[in-house]
A and B are shown apart, each in its own frame.
Chain A
């Protein structure tokens, strides 16, 4: 199981960039941490979710 923003799903083996695209995230407006470590944008396409991963995807909106 992979936990994304608190919710667990069967996503082990899924590519991060594929997941972001299919979920409608704009890579320019987010920050992704896996197991408390930031994933650099350059690494999105080469990152695969592993069983037990805890993922936080922060989506930024404008205003301030």
Chain B
């Protein structure tokens, strides 16, 4: 028997207080990209009780994803949206998960992100990151935007920071470690960066930013 909705809400409140729980459950966060960054951000936010997550990715789970991403071996071949929703429902069954199995383009960005209070950029390609950030800053300047740049390699996690660039735009990462110029990606380091993004969401909602 899984815990009831009331039991879970009580447990969230026990862990971080009823006042914060109210803010977290009223929030809607969009996660653009469900890879090493996005799937980890989603897990963190679901565990914190964020009321609604908008999960966007066009891709399928690949065996190489298991190295960093919150998917299971039995899910290889599934769409990431479907697999992640499955996993999130097992962890936090009473939250709302809206999935979109699409590639984000300038044609669909506006409608996909319309209801989000906070947008988390979690792509892997630099050009896609720049596209999304520019678009959100230009057309949705009232939304909070958290992006990430630089988490590749096995350099120290101490190099990964969260910088407030402007009023509602935050950048996580070390800013320089490019996946194409490094010795690969490591789960622990990517997860540090994902945690920076997730924690920034919680801090914004808590009024700490």
Contact = CB atoms under 8 A, between A and B. Distances in A.
Partners in one complex: yes
Interface residues of A, number: 17
Given A58-B133, A58-B149, A64 B165 contact: no
Interface stretch (B8-16, B18-26, B174-182): B174-182
Contacts of B177: 61, 63
Interface of A: 28-31, 33, 36, 38, 40-41, 56, 58-64
B134 A59 contact: no
A61 B182 CA distance: 11
Contact of B149 (A28, A40, A60): A60
B88 interface: no
A61 B134 CA distance: 15
Contacts of A61: 126, 149-150, 152, 175-179
Contact of B130 (A33, A56, A60, A63): A60
B59 interface: no
B167 A59 contact: no
A31 B137 contact: yes
Interface string B171-191: 100011111101001000010
